[in-house]
Each structure stands twice: as structure tokens, then as C-alpha cells.
Structure 1
Amino acid sequence: MKKSRFSNDINIRNRQAGFEYELMDKYVAGMVLTGTEIKSIREGKANLQDGYCYLSNNELFVKGINITPYAQGTHYNHEATRERKLLLKRSELKKLEGKVEEKGLTLVPTRLFINDRGLAKLEIAVAKGKKVHDKRDNIRERDAKRELDRLKLK
């Protein structure tokens, strides 16, 4: 059986978001993509590290996500870092708008995946920036957990 270069079990994570932000509520949004963008995502060639979301005219957009241009694309290929519209229900957009207006809260993309119907979805989280001492506490907790796991294995 020949293995295809396209995959439906894509799960691209933004690991930096969990370290930089305290993640609160999570939402799953659809994305408006062009033809070559979905092909690049199915090859696993996307990066969420510098991405952020913003609201404009009661619509949600994500900016800074890098989807590598499709290798076999022609002159119709997409721009790698263009802003993309996210699709959410109007009630969810109203909730997000209220939360983002609070001081210190932002919207961060945390995971890009393809659902069982073959559609690209972006998981976004309402997040609050961490201070340096909060990050140190997380590192300390993670190291302690790792030590406990090592002792259990012995």
C-alpha cells in the first residue's frame, strides 16, 4: 500500500502559547482557506508560533500563522502569512468580544487540526500573559513531575 504525502491526522500545536500565557477558555473555529493552503496543511507545513487573533467589525481574524506555500502550486499559490478569517457562531463572537475588552486578555491560536470531515479547524484560547515568576513556577512544577515519574519507573 502506497503512503500518501497528504494526511488527515494533522495536529499542529503551539507549544509556546502554553508557556507564555495562562490559557482559560478554548474555542474551535473554522478557517477560510484557499486551495493550496489546505494542501500545505495536510502536508503538515504550518507554524502557529507568532499567531494572534483579533476582532474587527464583528468578525474574527488570525494573523501571523505561517502556512508554507504549496510546492506544486502555480502562480495561484497563496501568501504564507496572510491574515485568515475564522468562522464562529455570532454568540461565541459576542462572548469573545466581551472577554478581549477586559484588561490583559488576548486570543491565541493553540492547535491546528483537520476534523473527521476533512475540514481545517483552529483551536483558539482566551489567554492572559504570564509574568516571569509564573513561568519559573511552571518550570519547577514540570521538573518535580518528571522526577516523580522517574521514581515510579524504577
Structure 2
Amino acid sequence: MPEKIARNFNIANRRAGFEYFFLEKYEAGMVLTGTEIKSIREGKVNLQDAYCLLLDGELYIRNLHISPYTEGTHYNHEPLRDRKLLLTKRELKKLDSKLKDQGLTIIPIRIFSSEKGLAKIEIALAKGKKLYDKRDTIKERDVKRETDRNNF
């Protein structure tokens, strides 16, 4: 049995904050198989290219790469399959109406464990940043880093 399996996990998409403005955040459950949750607990997840889409009134996440579990047998999962996200009907209708606006998308921010030990995903309704917005973000981060250095 691998020693790196953690009960609590928090895997963040650090690039998302640089690429997008977050308008609204939601917490959703995920429909996973047994080997997928074991790989997530090992931290073998890539959120970089993942995005969410609505199909037939249900929300799915696409391009979320969960590496195959090393101890898995022929029951191992497909790394890039579409996974269903669990939200209330009210939240799904709200997201559907907001997605009709041009330039908005739904992206995953982080995967974490709930108090019960279930895998949850935090998603955000987001608008893409322009190049000058990214430069402002870099400038703000550098200024904050300098002030933190001077305070110590």
C-alpha cells in the first residue's frame, strides 16, 4: 500500500487566478470511481487545462487529468474522462443563464476534501483577463512581496 495517501488534500489551480477574474464561486461534488479518489489523495491531479460545460442541464468537467492509480488493476480509470459535477438545480439554472453572456466560462479553482472526507471541487464563473490585466496582477504581486520583505 502506498504511504503517500492523505486523508485531507487541497490541490489548487494556481494559474487560474492569473488567467481569469472570478465573478462567482461554487462548491460542487464530483462523481468519481474508487481508483480516481485514491489518485487524488496521492495528489496526482492536473487542473491546468480543465474547464466545465453544461450538457443537457448537467454540469461536467472536461480535461481534468487524474493519473491512473499505481496499485490499480484492470479496473483503473481513464485519466481524461468527463466527470459529472453535482450542484443544485437552482445553481445550474443560474450558471446556465450567466454563461449566455459573452466571454464567461466555468473553471475549476481547487479540489479539496470535505469534513466527511469526500472530494469536492471549487469552481468559479470567470472572465478571461487581457494582457494588460495580467501585467497589473504581476505588478501587484511584486509590490506585495517587497512590502512583506521590508516588514521582516
TM-score range, shorter chain: over 0.9
Q: How many residues align?
A: 151
Aligned to 2:8: 9
State the Cα distance separating 1:62 from its structure 2 match. 0.1
Distance across 2 between alignment mates of 1:67 and 1:113: 14
Aligned pairs for 1:1-154 (under 5 A) are 4-153=3-152
Q: Secondary structure in 2 aligned to 1:53?
A: strand
TM, length-normalised to structure 2? 0.96
State the Cα distance separating 1:86 from its structure 2 match. 0.2
CA RMSD of aligned residues (A): 1.1
Give 5+ residue unaligned stretches, structure 2.
none
Give 5+ residue unaligned stretches, structure 1.
none
* 2:37–2:119 contact (8 Å) kept in structure 1: yes
Identity of aligned residues (%): 60
What does the per-residue CA deviation read over 1:45-98, in whole Å, with 9 as the maximum and x for residues that have no partner? 111011000001100000011100000101110000111000000000011111
State the Cα distance separating 1:5 from its structure 2 match. 2.6
TM, length-normalised to structure 1? 0.95
What does the per-residue CA deviation read over 1:14-59, in whole Å, with 9 as the maximum and x for residues that have no partner? 0111000011110000000011101111111111011000001100
Q: Secondary structure in 1 aligned to 2:72?
A: coil
